[in-house]
Amino acid sequence: MRLILKNNGTTALKLFSALAFILCMPGILNAQRNAKPGFVTYHVDLKKQELKFYWRDEQQQIFRNFANLKTWLEKRNIYLEFAMNGGMYNEQNGPQGLYIENKQTLNPIDLRKGKGNFYLKPNGIFYISNDLQAGVCVSEKFKHGNVKYATQSGPMLLIDGKMHPAFKKGSKNLNIRNGVGIIDKQHIVFVMSKQEINFYDFADYFRSLGCKNALYLDGHISKTFLPAENLLQTDGNFGVIIAVVSNKKSK
């Protein structure tokens, strides 16, 4: 369908195209409308932004925090626009469970039973395919083919639109938390709570943003680097880092 106005057809066509795009993307509209001040909420469009996972440099040294990653990137004329710690890690700052970086599996999937949040089944995997499509799935359903990046964590927050069965409304299990949710295969939302929150309310926030699948990344050690909002948490000592990078320095 085309809408043409006399003497200004080009402008009208552009306006109509923009309107049609918005109407076709209800998930993004929901995410923008429902964002709340108690959370750091950051949206990624994989067709417009470059999302990468980092753990170690070429000397096999673990980055550990955003300051070290930022310095390393800037020496290569790459600039950090956003970063968040990307999942749980072991005592050696290695990934807890599956980790894939640039198509290479650097740590195997962990389907064992155990204690702690990671093993609060079902846990899950956040991944980016080689053709830049995003997903979050239950670990047991993950398929290794065509994957560029992946990190395993747990528990799942949302599974096909339903909340993790272990979460309880009004729970006193409060903590700072961060996680990732999928709006659609192209659009991702990262969230970190600004105050302590329970799993139920954290998962419910992702649901309010239009996510059907979402994954908990970590708790009290959660950090976010987002200079556009003057959020510069460059300290920390963790494992995997998820980052949006650019070859242009932000103003």
- Given a contact cutoff of 8 angstroms between Cβ atoms, the answer to whether 85 and 95 are in contact is no
The helix/strand/coil state of 167 is coil
CA 147, 139, 198, 27 torsion: positive or negative? positive
Cα 63 to Cα 60, 180, 239, distances in angstroms: 9, 21, 8
CB-based burial, 233-242: b 16+ in 10 Å, e otherwise: beebebbbbb
Cα 7 to Cα 12, 17, 96, distances in angstroms: 10, 18, 61
Single-letter amino acid, residue 247? N
pLDDT in tens, the chain (251 residues): 333 334 444 444 444 444 444 444 444 444 454 567 799 999 999 999 999 999 999 999 999 999 999 999 999 999 999 999 999 999 999 999 999 999 999 999 999 999 999 999 999 999 999 999 999 999 999 998 899 999 999 999 999 999 999 999 999 999 999 999 999 999 999 999 999 999 999 999 999 999 999 999 999 889 999 999 999 999 989 999 999 999 977 65
